[in-house]
Amino acid sequence: MPPRRRATPARTHRNDAAQLADRLQAAGYTKRDIARIINRDPSLVSQFYTKNKGAAFVPALTQVLAAIQSAGITDTTELAAIAAGHITRRTTAAGTKARVRTRALLITPTGTGSGRVAAQAIASGSARLRPLIAEAAHQGLRLAFTVRLARTGYVHASGSRTDSPGIRRDVVQRTDHTEERSYGSAATGGFDAADFARRVDQSGGDVTTAIHEWLVDTGRIHPGAHITHLEIRTWRPR
């Protein structure tokens, strides 16, 4: 006889963060929008419901909801700026600030660091790459990146010297009709991380948008092209 499975009691009461998220969704915002407003991954918003998380974001979400209902502010970038001033770190039982559990974005003493995101994170602005770029800017590092998108999204043909091929990975062609192309390297000097950090800030923390705008502005991709994968690499200039 197979062992009986212990029934899991249904959660009858949602925590404050989940209730605020419900109200924001009723106002027309998705979980992805909420994640962007609090500058976190969408999976965390889901955990408001499944793992009883989100207490640290209640003050921020309360202020955001008030801004929407009272002041008529609807832009997610403006709401993110409001939320930022009300997000505080959790504290441990000893009263110290709790560690933030995020995927490691390590920068070594030599300045070497990397981070890569795919479709789900791309759609939410590649938020987990923002700390890497910010820290690289703080340390005065250089930066390079690799993007993947549909071949038809690139302005220049594969192998064109105008489009920075031949760097690190050259051009990687995929069976799904996408290509990876790398921009910048230690050999060519790469880019100033501080410049890209400013671009990210100007895009409201959206790394995907900042990189996309740079590629469009420099004539490398078409405006309607959609980035599906993004990798950031850093190093210390000699």
Tell me if residue 118 falls in helix, strand or coil: coil
If you average pLDDT over residues 51-65, what whole number do you get? Answer: 91
User: Which residues lie across from 160 on neighbouring strands?
Assistant: none
Q: For the chain, what is the mean pLDDT?
A: 83
* 184 C-beta neighbours (distance < 10 Å), count: 19
b/e map 66-97, b = 16+ CB within 10 Å: ebbeeeeeeebeebbebbeebbeeeeeeeeee
- Kindly state whether residues 118 and 76 are assigned to the same domain: no
Least confident stretch, 59-63, 181-185, 209-213, 229-233: 181-185
Segments forming the whole domain that contains residue 204: 113-235
Cα separation, 180 vs 192, in Å, equals: 21
Residue 26 lies in a domain: yes
- For 30-39, the pLDDT digits (tens) are 988 898 899 8
- Kindly state whether residues 59 and 170 are assigned to the same domain: no
pTM above 0.85, yes or no: no
- Kindly state whether residues 155 and 197 are assigned to the same domain: yes
Residue 148 lies in a domain: yes
Cα separation, 83 vs 67, in Å, equals: 10
Tell me if residue 104 falls in helix, strand or coil: coil
Cα separation, 205 vs 207, in Å, equals: 6
Number of domains observed in the structure of the chain: 2
